[in-house]
């Protein structure tokens, strides 16, 4: 077993492992790279913590060790802590923690490990681990996060990449070249590991384990994934609170949850919107068990904005769906005492949000359902080997003394002790006096009691000894580039980033970089940027923001820039600037200085917009979507980039980012756009810069924010075939001059939707790539029933069929326009041909439709019905059928029937054939 730095992938592994060391030394003596292997080992192993490094302190600066105090330390389980102290390498292969008890004889060794465990646990008080429910959905989310946000660039992936391809069979070997995770299932509870993942730098200030900017839900999901073995297969337990799934969708109504993929899942005390991660456009499903205290009738309430429903034992009790202001609805149900399943679904479609779930029952006044009656079934997760642990003061007191005598504080710092300290810490020899030719002391393969034993190879010993004998060389100061390489090596930046042909993702590791969603940006959309000349590209303020303040401009990239802590990488912005500065760089123009700049930025705005170079065809701008792919937000350029780089990049994108999809708009330095600023390349680029350098964009580039492109039916009907929300992917929208509109669904062959007023806004589909479904622009949208419009029912109780579309024999045939461009839709169902001719008629106050439907068949068809409506309540008054008090239908000449079916009412029109034809008229007002 080797210290974990050996497991790191190229270039560290290359520098330090096995045979490469000799090769490396042979090449360069004191390394060209700026990181000599011996120097690297001495500093990562923290030798200078005990051995005063004197004049070479600078170069051998120690790696900060994990903090153990109550405020910062990770609350690992006592069983793991004990095992780790007894044999660090066995618990966490590759750990840099030396075995402090290696040379102790039994039973002293066991006594010391136990005493130290009691002491360290006493610092924070023993806690009993409470089981938490395993969530399969959270594990799935965690699995994706673990494999995409960047974890697997240092730690071994646990699954094949999304492509599932491993042509060179690298996967099985990846564990050997990655930093081992150790026995996490024994070490952590889900909550503790989640806490650690959220802020690893709190307990491990060295930053070798960086923060990946996980939010609490994400950290919990990753923790649950990594600890998934804690829940034994098949064992379910009763857990407090509810389980929930949280979805981010733009919804007009409560969705079919089973068709959606949750963004996150988890457990929560009660029905609360606190689990939502954004203000609007989300949905939640809560599930669990409610304990009913006594037999009787219970009333349940949901008060919500927007829609909600409540189910008990899978029966809907409260209907409060749709978009509406905060409103309360209720329902009653008789229940027996005991456990019943409860489910509440909720969605928000914009605006205010609210959810309150209450009950009333025998002996219970109306009140919010208390969390104590809510529970859910789940697989319980507990650390492996979970034990009740009580701190023994005598043992802890002894442990406090061992902590001193073993010099733990040299790395882990002084810790409080409430017991008398009698031990003293010996003083190690200064580094300058350690220049023997043979390994001795803690370098000796057989250490003496009280000394640490490091798991290192003979070759590593030789390298360290060699370095100790050449300490004079370490007094020199490293160049900026050497310091960069050293930092990028120890922090393993090279796993993801290439700089000057060093490092960068390789092999199967490349396959784990992913887009967020499906983004048409190629490798630029998922691979971390290379860092050649990054100091000449980016402003130091921005590099600092990216390294230590969470700055990020690539929302399409799944992999995140880790945060290593200012203490560890805070020097990089300055170093990059020094190393990459160009003597001939054009300085940043002072865009605020003169009126010329003010004038210039108008031209810049023009060039960026539609009609200029249309940069916004691909680039997002100031938070607005681009017209095409979501390439990097251009409005950030002024804060991030140096003008010199920007200018060189625009003139020749490929030279600075080989393979980029950014087109050259000034090929050979000559402007393709001759209309702006006389086609002067330098003036154009300066003008764009002048515009981008501003912080506030009150005047956005032309064409970025699309106005409405309302289609208006003036004297004739107007047709719009496109993706229409409520009308399907093959909708045929028709706007009529009378201001009634419809959408016909040519997939399902049905009139899908009618509405009044304005027809539709075509801007969505006529700008950019035309992504998504457009809503009706007008008002009073009525959705017609889904499913086939016609069916043959052989009995009154026969259920209306659900199957539709081509698979069920339906086929769209086209349409014929009349003199006013109004379509007669033609479609067929097996041997039946149907002509469907809706005509808008003016009305007071609103227009309606007269629809004439003719069915042709060679042979008369028996028991053929048209389903005109489905609703909660359909009522007939003098031949007018009111559907849910909105839609009013008349069928002159036909005798429709109302029938109940599956808790709803259906309005069916029977068809009778005469001479190969059956016909009916439907008059629609609403």
Contacts (CB under 8 A) with another protein, residues 760-779: 762, 765-773
Question: Which of 22, 61, 126, 165 is the binder for another protein (CB under 8 A)?
Answer: 165
Residue 169 C-beta: closest distance to another protein, Å:
12
Q: Count residues contacting another protein (CB under 8 A)?
A: 77
Question: Per 3-state DSSP, what percentage of the chain is helix, strand, and coil (rounded to 5)?
Answer: 30, 25, 45
Rounded to whole angstroms, the Cα distance separating 816 from 808 reads 24
Query: Scanning residues 386 to 415, which ones bind another protein (CB under 8 A)?
Result: none
* Closer by beta carbon to another protein, 669 or else 879: 669
CA distance 454 to 438: 16
Residue 168 in contact with another protein, rule: CB under 8 A? yes
CB of 771 to another protein, least distance (A): 4
- In degrees rounded to 5, what are phi and psi of residue 9? -75, 175
User: Per CB under 8 A, which region of 21-29, 286-294, 335-343, 817-825 contacts another protein?
Assistant: 817-825
For residue 193, which of 165, 169, 162, 216 has the smallest C-alpha distance? Answer: 216
- Is 449 a binding residue for another protein by CB under 8 A? The answer is no
- Interactions with another protein, residue window 819-878 (CB under 8 A): 819, 821
Alpha-carbon distance of 4 to 89, in angstroms, equals 10
Which residue's CB is nearer to another protein, number 386 or number 833?
833
Rounded Cα distance, 8 and 613, in Å: 45
Q: How far apart are CA 662 and CA 677, in angstroms?
A: 22
Number of residues in the chain? 926
> Quick check: 121 binds another protein (CB under 8 A)?
no
Rounded to a whole number of angstroms, the minimum distance from the CB of residue 659 to another protein is 6
796 Rama sector, left if φ>0, alpha if ψ -120 to 50, beta otherwise: alpha
Tokens for 29, please give them: 């003596």
Between 729 and 880, name the residue whose CB sits nearer to another protein. 729
Q: Is 325 in the site for another protein (CB under 8 A)?
A: no
Single out the segment in contact with another protein by CB under 8 A; choices: 164-172, 305-313, 374-382, 892-900.
164-172
Element spanning 355, H or E: strand 354-361
Nearer to another protein, 434 or 713 (CB): 713
Closer residue to another protein in complex, CB, 338/772: 772
Residue 736 contacts another protein per CB under 8 A = no
Cα 259 to Cα 237: distance, rounded to the nearest angstrom: 27
Q: Which of 226, 284, 608, 656 binds another protein (CB under 8 A)?
A: 656
Burial 665-675 (b: 16+ CB within 10 A, else e): bbeeeebebee
Q: CA–CA separation, 752 vs 742, rounded Å?
A: 8
If one asks whether residue 708 binds another protein (CB under 8 A), the answer comes out as no
Residues 788 to 807 in contact with another protein, rule: CB under 8 A: 806-807
Judged by beta carbon, residue 200 or residue 533, the one nearer another protein is: 533
The one among 546, 746, 832, 883 contacting another protein by CB under 8 A: 746
169 binds another protein, rule: CB under 8 A = no
| Piece of the chain touching another protein by CB under 8 A; list 12-20, 185-193, 202-210, 759-767 | 759-767
What whole-number distance in Å separates Cα of residue 466 and Cα of residue 31? 14
Binding mask 574-613 toward another protein (x if CB under 8 A, else -) reads ----------x-------------------------xxxx
- In the bound complex, what is the minimum distance in angstroms from residue 742's beta carbon to another protein? 13
**Which span (61-69, 214-222, 466-474, 644-652) binds another protein, by CB under 8 A?**
644-652
Q: Judged by CB under 8 A, which of 614, 686, 905, 925 binds another protein?
A: 614
Q: Is residue 470 part of the contact set for another protein (CB under 8 A)?
A: no
Beta-carbon contacts of 265 under 8 Å, excluding residues fewer than 6 positions away, are 135, 137, 138, 141, 243, 244, 245, 246
- Of the candidates 364, 389, 220, 397, the residue with the CA atom closest to the CA atom of residue 296: 364
Rounded-to-10 torsion of CA 596, 597, 603, 609: -170
CB within 8 Å of 686: residues ≥ 6 apart: 589, 600
Residue 525 touching another protein (CB under 8 A) = yes
Smallest gap from residue 209 Cβ to another protein (A): 28
> Which H or E element spans position 870?
strand 864-871
Q: Which residues contact 157 (CB under 8 A, 6 or more apart)?
A: 147, 171, 174, 512
503-522 residues in contact with another protein (CB under 8 A) are: 510-511, 518, 520-522
Residues 617-636 interacting with another protein (rule: CB under 8 A): 617-618, 627-628
Contact 683, 721 (CB under 8 A): no
Q: How far is CA 549 from CA 195, 539, 545, 755, in A?
A: 19, 14, 5, 50
Q: Minimum CB separation from another protein for residue 739, in Å?
A: 18
Interface stretch with another protein, choices 21-29, 128-136, 300-308, 647-655 (CB under 8 A) = 647-655
Q: Which stretch binds another protein (CB under 8 A): 79-87, 160-168, 273-281, 299-307?
A: 160-168
């Amino acid at each position: 077993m080797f210290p974990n730095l050996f497991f790191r992938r190229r270039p560290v592994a290359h520098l330090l492992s096995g045979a490469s060391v000799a090769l490396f030394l042979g090449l360069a003596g004191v390394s060209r790279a700026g990181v000599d292997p011996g120097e690297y080992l001495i500093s990562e192993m923290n030798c200078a913590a005990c051995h005063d490094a004197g004049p070479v302190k600078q170069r051998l600066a120690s790696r900060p060790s994990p903090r153990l105090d109550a405020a910062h330390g990770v609350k690992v389980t006592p069983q793991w802590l004990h095992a780790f102290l007894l044999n660090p390498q066995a618990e966490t292969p590759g750990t840099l923690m030396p075995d402090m008890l290696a040379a102790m004889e039994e039973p002293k060794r066991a006594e010391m490990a136990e005493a130290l465990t009691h002491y360290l646990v006493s610092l924070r008080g023993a806690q009993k681990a409470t089981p938490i429910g395993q969530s399969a959905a959270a594990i799935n989310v965690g699995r994706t996060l673990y494999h995409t946000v960047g974890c697997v660039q240092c730690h071994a992936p646990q699954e094949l990449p999304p492509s599932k391809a491993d042509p060179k069979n690298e996967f099985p070997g990846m564990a050997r070249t990655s930093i081992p995770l150790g026995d996490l299932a024994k070490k952590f509870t889900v909550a503790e590991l989640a806490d650690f993942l959220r802020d690893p730098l709190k307990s491990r200030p060295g930053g070798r384990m960086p923060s990946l900017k996980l939010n609490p839900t994400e950290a919990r999901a990753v923790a649950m994934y990594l600890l998934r073995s804690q829940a034994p297969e098949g064992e379910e337990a009763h857990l407090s609170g509810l389980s929930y799934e949280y979805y981010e969708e733009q919804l007009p109504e409560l969705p079919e949850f089973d068709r959606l993929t949750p963004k996150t899942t988890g457990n929560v005390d009660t029905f609360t919107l606190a689990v939502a991660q954004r203000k609007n456009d989300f949905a939640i499903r809560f599930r669990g068990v409610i304990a009913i205290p006594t037999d009787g009738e219970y009333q349940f309430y949901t008060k919500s904005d927007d829609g909600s429903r409540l189910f008990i034992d899978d029966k809907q009790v409260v209907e409060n769906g749709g978009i509406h202001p905060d409103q309360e609805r209720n329902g009653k149900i008789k229940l027996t005492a005991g456990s019943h399943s409860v489910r509440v679904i909720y969605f928000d479609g914009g605006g205010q949000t609210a959810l309150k779930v209450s009950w009333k029952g025998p002996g219970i006044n109306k009140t919010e359902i208390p969390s104590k009656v809510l529970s859910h079934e789940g697989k319980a997760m507990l650390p492996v080997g979970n034990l009740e642990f009580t701190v023994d003061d005598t043992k802890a007191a002894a442990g406090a003394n061992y902590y001193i005598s073993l010099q733990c504080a040299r790395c882990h710092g002084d810790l409080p002790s409430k017991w008398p300290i009698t031990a003293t810490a010996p003083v190690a020899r200064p580094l300058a006096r350690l220049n023997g030719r043979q390994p001795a002391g803690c370098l000796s393969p057989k250490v003496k009691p009280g000394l640490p034993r490091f798991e290192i190879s003979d070759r590593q010993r030789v390298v360290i000894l060699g370095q100790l004998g050449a300490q004079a060389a370490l007094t020199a100061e490293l160049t900026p580039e050497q310091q960069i390489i050293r930092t990028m090596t120890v922090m393993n930046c090279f796993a993801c980033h290439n700089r000057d042909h060093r490092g960068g993702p390789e092999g199967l590791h490349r396959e784990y970089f992913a887009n967020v969603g499906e983004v048409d940006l190629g490798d630029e959309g998922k691979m971390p940027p290379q860092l050649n000349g990054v100091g000449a590209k980016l402003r130091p303020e921005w590099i600092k923001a990216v390294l230590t303040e969470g700055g990020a401009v690539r929302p399409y990239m799944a992999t995140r820039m880790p945060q290593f802590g200012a203490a560890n990488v805070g020097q990089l912005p300055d170093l990059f600037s020094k190393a990459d500065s160009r003597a001939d760089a054009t300085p940043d123009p002072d865009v605020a200085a003169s009126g010329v700049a003010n004038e210039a930025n108008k031209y810049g705005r023009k060039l960026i917009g539609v009609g200029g170079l249309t940069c916004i065809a691909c680039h997002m701008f100031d938070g607005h979507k681009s017209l095409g792919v979501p390439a990097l937000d251009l409005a950030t350029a002024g804060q991030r980039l140096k003008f010199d780089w920007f200018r060189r990049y625009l003139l020749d994108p490929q030279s600075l980012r080989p393979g980029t999809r950014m087109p050259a708009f000034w090929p050979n330095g000559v402007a393709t756009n001759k209309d702006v600023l006389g086609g002067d390349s330098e003036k154009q680029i300066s003008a764009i810069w002048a515009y981008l350098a501003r912080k506030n964009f009150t005047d956005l580039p032309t064409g970025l924010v699309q106005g409405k492109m309302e289609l208006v039916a003036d004297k004739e009907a107007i047709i719009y075939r496109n993706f229409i929300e409520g009308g399907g992917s093959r909708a045929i929208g028709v706007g009529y001059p009378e201001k009634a509109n419809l959408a016909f669904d040519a997939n399902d062959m049905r009139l899908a939707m009618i509405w009044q007023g304005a027809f539709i806004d075509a801007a969505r589909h006529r700008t950019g790539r035309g992504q998504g479904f457009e809503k009706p622009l007008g008002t009073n949208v009525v959705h017609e029933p889904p499913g086939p419009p016609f069916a043959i029912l052989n009995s009154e109780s026969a259920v209306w069929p659900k199957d539709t579309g081509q698979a069920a024999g339906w086929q769209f045939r086209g349409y014929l326009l009349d003199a006013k461009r109004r379509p007669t839709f033609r479609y067929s169902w097996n041997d039946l041909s149907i002509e469907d001719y809706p005509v808008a008629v003016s009305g007071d106050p609103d227009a309606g439709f007269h629809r004439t439907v003719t069915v042709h068949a060679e042979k008369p068809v028996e028991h053929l019905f048209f389903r005109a409506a489905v609703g909660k309540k359909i009522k007939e008054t003098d031949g007018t059928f009111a559907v849910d008090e909105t839609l009013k239908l008349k069928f002159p000449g036909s005798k429709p029937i109302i029938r109940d079916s599956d808790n709803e009412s259906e309005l069916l029109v029977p068809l009778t054939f005469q001479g190969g034809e059956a016909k009916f008229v439907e008059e629609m007002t609403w």
